[in-house]
């Protein structure tokens, strides 16, 4: 393994840490405030294309080390896409099978990608008319597989497993601190399983208790894949409100318009959740006047062409004869 | 603290665990997600598919008396059995099946309070994929008890007379007409809104976070005091296709003990498509 020449013996040697961080790139044209630079942490530069590589790698290695994946036992996990792609890709590369329980609202491209990554899919209809506190149908179905067919499946459970937090405590947090030379004053991230915000938050708070941890969430009724509104957070046990200074609620349409602006003005091929985070960061930069912001950009735009067309119809090619799924 | 009017229709998960495999007790799982039973079920239970087994496959209707008898016979249920129903989504379709069992006169049918999610989240409860061994029976049902079911002509009459409680148990967005059905649902209607005079009391207001029913005192306060359901009047509950309203029907009839409560299983998919039927938004 050589990070200088970038020659690796297998894909797992590329996994990020302090010595091999994902890039931090400044946003220039979209941020007019010179006293508040905003840097995007490009998590799509991870081997399987998203921030979820970090949690997936920690979850998988933990299961392997504890002998949970012997005798042909594989993984079952509820996933909105990225965790599944990372877990499936990694699991298959290490000889394990994986069943992904996927909510039907997950974009078409992600479902195909999960299959390409090597996952078997079970698609469930979620959010019919949800009751508070009961959790998603996909989580319950995954738990059912793990409970009834324990000889075949083990469930990493990204929503409850502390390894998800540890991944960010041991990699993302130290990377940000080292890359910014300790200058970071604001961290902007989204909420999903909350492993990212809790892990980075714990690390940065310990380094500098004054750092502001700001979570950005889409307005209720949103369709931004992978994100949760606070009303949906009860499914995650990893959310620690004491580590979050503010939760900004941002109109979810910004996720799509800002993602397009990032691509067309900054050369950053960022996905919708990154767009939402940028909008939140720009609002805080305008309010707080000076600072040094780091934004976690979870993945790139390539999985979201159908979502983008839905929100920005002029992206639809003129010769598109059929409805894009 | 007051008791439910009919506490005997509920059993808890511990009771089910203690009584697994006992003669005369039959477990039946009915889920919204028809794949859930195959992924894992309580040992000894049979699974009913609400789409293919609990409704007529040609016209829009509940299954006939003969079909119900065949379903029971094939599932090894006898009329004298205690049937315990459970399912996902807070027992939506388990409640629908409960209503169907009552319609066809099964004497002792009960719901497992909290449904399959509560069982799933309790560490001492097991699930299995082992098929259940069934000894078929010759089940004979009663003629359907139509006092438990509202059909369209009655609903139209009731909304015109305004002397009944009409309870709309759908989500606030369905009630207001903002959406016609929850996202992704194939059974829908031509128009959004609600039956004029219906009170909006979403089914989930009756449920605790763990999926169990709220206490009698809480239910009494919600339905009778806060929402103004008049216990002296006859009541009709409806939703979109009659499954969520079955949940509320159980609450009103068996937990609160209202005397005349009907489930309108045609619900909004029927009412919202009738030419000329009055709608409020």
Evaluate if residue A98 carries a pLDDT over 60. yes
Q: In this structure, what DSSP letter does residue A2 have?
A: B
By the 10 Å C-beta count (0-12 exposed, 13-18 middle, 19+ buried), A26 is classed as: exposed
Q: Are residues A135 and A170 in the same domain?
A: no
CB contact under 8 A, A148 and B35: no
CB A173 within 8 A of CB A51: no
Residue B146: HSE in the Cβ half-sphere, 13 Å Cα cutoff: 5
Q: Name the strands in the sheet holding B25-31, side by side, starting at the edge strand that comes first in the sequence.
A: B10-11, B109-112, B82-86, B25-31, B46-49
Q: Are residues B162 and B262 in the same domain?
A: yes
Q: Are residues B20 and B77 in the same domain?
A: yes
DSSP class per residue in B93-162: HHHHHHHHHHHTT-SSEEEETTHHHHHHT-TT---B-PPPP-------PPPP-GGGB--HHHHHHHHHHT
CB A312 within 8 A of CB A257: yes
Asked whether the whole model's pTM tops 0.90, one would answer no
pLDDT tier, A129 (very low <50, low <70, confident <90, very high otherwise): very low
Cβ-nearest to A131 among B90, B116, B127: B90
**Active site residue: B75, B229, B239, B256, which one?**
B239
CB A244 within 8 A of CB A197: yes
Tell me the nearest-neighbour CA distance from A14 into chain B, angstroms.
36
Least confident of A281-290, A302-311, B164-173: A302-311
Tell me the nearest-neighbour CA distance from B248 into chain A, angstroms.
14
Q: Which residues in chain B have their CB less than 8 angstroms from residue A149's CB?
A: 39-40, 129
Q: Which residues in chain B have their CB less than 8 angstroms from residue A140's CB?
A: 36, 88, 116-117, 120
Count of structural domains within chain B:
2
pLDDT tier, A234 (very low <50, low <70, confident <90, very high otherwise): low
Instruction: Please list the residues that pair with A186 across neighbouring strands.
Output: A212, A293
Residue A204: HSE in the Cβ half-sphere, 13 Å Cα cutoff: 33
What are the phi and psi torsion angles at B243 (to 5°)?
-90, -45
- Write the CB contacts of A272 (distance below 8 Å, at least 6 apart in sequence): A224, A225, A255, A256, A259, A301, A304, A307, A308
Count of structural domains within chain A:
2
Strands (E), chain B: 10-11, 25-31, 46-49, 82-86, 109-112, 165-168, 199-200, 235-238, 261-264
User: Which token pair is B158?
Assistant: 């009731």
- Write the CB contacts of B135 (distance below 8 Å, at least 6 apart in sequence): B76
Q: pLDDT tens digit string along B217-246? A: 999 999 999 999 999 999 999 999 988 999
- Write the CB contacts of A13 (distance below 8 Å, at least 6 apart in sequence): A1
Q: Which range marks the domain in which residue A203 is found?
A: 11-46+162-311
- What is the domain-level CATH number for residue B255? 3.40.250.10
**Would the ipTM clear 0.95, i.e. be above it?**
no
- B280 inside domain: no
Percent of chain A topping pLDDT 70: 92
Chain B, nearest residue to A235 by Cα: B209
Q: Are residues B41 and B132 in the same domain?
A: yes
Q: pLDDT tens digit string along A144-201? A: 999 999 999 999 999 899 999 999 999 999 999 999 999 999 999 998 889 999 999 9
Tell me the nearest-neighbour CA distance from A162 into chain B, angstroms.
19
Residues of A carrying an active site annotation: 52, 273
Alpha-carbon dihedral of residues A204, A208, A211, A217, nearest 10 degrees?
A: 20
- What is the domain-level CATH number for residue A70? 3.40.50.1100
Q: Are residues B93 and B214 in the same domain?
A: no
Q: Are residues B68 and B181 in the same domain?
A: no
Report CA-CA distances (Å) from A119 to A81, A83, A93, A138, B268: 11, 11, 12, 15, 39
What are the phi and psi torsion angles at A120 (to 5°)?
-85, 145
pLDDT tier, A322 (very low <50, low <70, confident <90, very high otherwise): low
Please tell me the distance from the alpha carbon of residue A131 to that of residue B93, in angstroms, as a whole number. Answer: 15
Q: Which residues in chain B have their CB less than 8 angstroms from residue A143's CB?
A: 120-121
CB A306 within 8 A of CB A108: yes
Q: Which range marks the domain in which residue B69 is found?
A: 7-144
């Amino acid at each position: 393994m050589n990070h200088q020449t970038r020659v690796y013996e297998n894909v797992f040697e590329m996994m990020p840490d302090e010595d091999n961080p994902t890039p931090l790139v400044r946003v220039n044209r979209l941020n007019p405030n010179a006293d508040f630079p905003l840097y995007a942490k490009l998590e799509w530069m991870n081997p399987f294309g998203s921030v979820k590589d970090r949690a997936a790698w920690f979850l998988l290695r933990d299961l392997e080390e504890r002998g949970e994946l012997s005798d042909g036992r594989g993984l079952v996990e509820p996933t909105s896409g990225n965790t599944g792609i990372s877990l499936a890709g990694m699991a298959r590369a290490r000889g394990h099978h994986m069943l992904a329980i996927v909510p039907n609202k997950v974009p078409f491209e992600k479902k195909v990608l999960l299959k390409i990554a090597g996952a078997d899919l079970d698609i469930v209809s979620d959010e019919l008319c949800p009751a508070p506190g009961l959790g998603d149908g996909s989580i319950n179905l995954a738990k059912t597989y793990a409970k009834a067919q324990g000889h075949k499946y083990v469930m990493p459970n990204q929503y409850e497993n502390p390894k998800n937090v540890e991944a960010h405590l041991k990699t993302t947090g130290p990377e940000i601190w080292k890359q910014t030379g300790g200058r970071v004053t604001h961290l902007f991230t989204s909420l999903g399983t909350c492993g990212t915000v809790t892990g980075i938050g714990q690390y940065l708070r310990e380094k500098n208790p004054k750092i502001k941890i700001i979570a950005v969430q889409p307005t209720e009724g949103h369709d931004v894949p992978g994100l949760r509104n606070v009303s949906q957070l009860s499914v995650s046990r990893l959310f620690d409100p004491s580590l979050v200074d503010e939760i900004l609620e941002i109109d979810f349409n910004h996720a799509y318009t800002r993602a397009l602006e990032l691509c067309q003005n900054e050369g950053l091929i960022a996905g919708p959740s990154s767009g939402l985070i940028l909008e939140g960061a720009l609002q805080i930069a305008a309010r707080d006047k000076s600072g040094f912001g780091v934004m976690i950009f979870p993945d790139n735009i390539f999985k979201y062409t159908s979502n983008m067309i839905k929100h920005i119809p002029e992206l639809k090619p003129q010769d598109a004869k059929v409805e894009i799924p | 603290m007051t008791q439910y009017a009919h506490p005997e229709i509920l059993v808890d998960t511990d009771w089910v665990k203690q009584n697994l495999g006992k003669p005369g007790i039959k477990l039946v799982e009915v889920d919204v997600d028809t794949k859930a039973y195959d992924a894992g079920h309580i040992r000894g239970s049979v699974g009913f598919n609400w789409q293919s087994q609990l409704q007529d496959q040609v016209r829009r209707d509940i299954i006939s008396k003969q079909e119900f008898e065949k379903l029971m016979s094939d599932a090894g249920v006898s009329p004298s059995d205690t049937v315990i129903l459970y399912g996902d989504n807070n027992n939506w379709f388990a409640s629908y099946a409960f209503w169907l069992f009552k319609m066809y006169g099964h004497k002792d049918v009960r719901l497992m309070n909290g449904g399959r999610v509560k069982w799933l989240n309790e560490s001492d409860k097991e699930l299995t994929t082992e098929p259940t061994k069934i000894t078929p029976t010759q089940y004979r049902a009663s003629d359907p008890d139509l006092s438990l079911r509202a059909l369209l002509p009655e609903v139209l009459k009731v909304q015109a007379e305004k002397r009944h409680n009409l309870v709309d148990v759908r989500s606030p967005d369905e009630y207001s007409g903002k959406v016609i059905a929850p996202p992704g649902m194939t059974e829908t209607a031509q128009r959004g809104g609600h039956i004029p005079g219906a009170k909006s009391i979403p089914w989930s207001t009756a449920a605790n976070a763990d999926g169990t029913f709220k206490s009698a005192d809480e239910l009494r306060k919600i339905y009778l005091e806060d929402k103004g359901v008049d216990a002296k009047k006859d009541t009709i509950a409806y939703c979109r296709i009659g499954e969520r309203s079955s949940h509320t029907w159980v609450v009103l009839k068996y937990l609160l003990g209202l005397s005349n409560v009907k489930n309108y299983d045609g619900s909004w998919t029927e009412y919202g498509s009738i030419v000329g039927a009055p709608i409020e938004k």
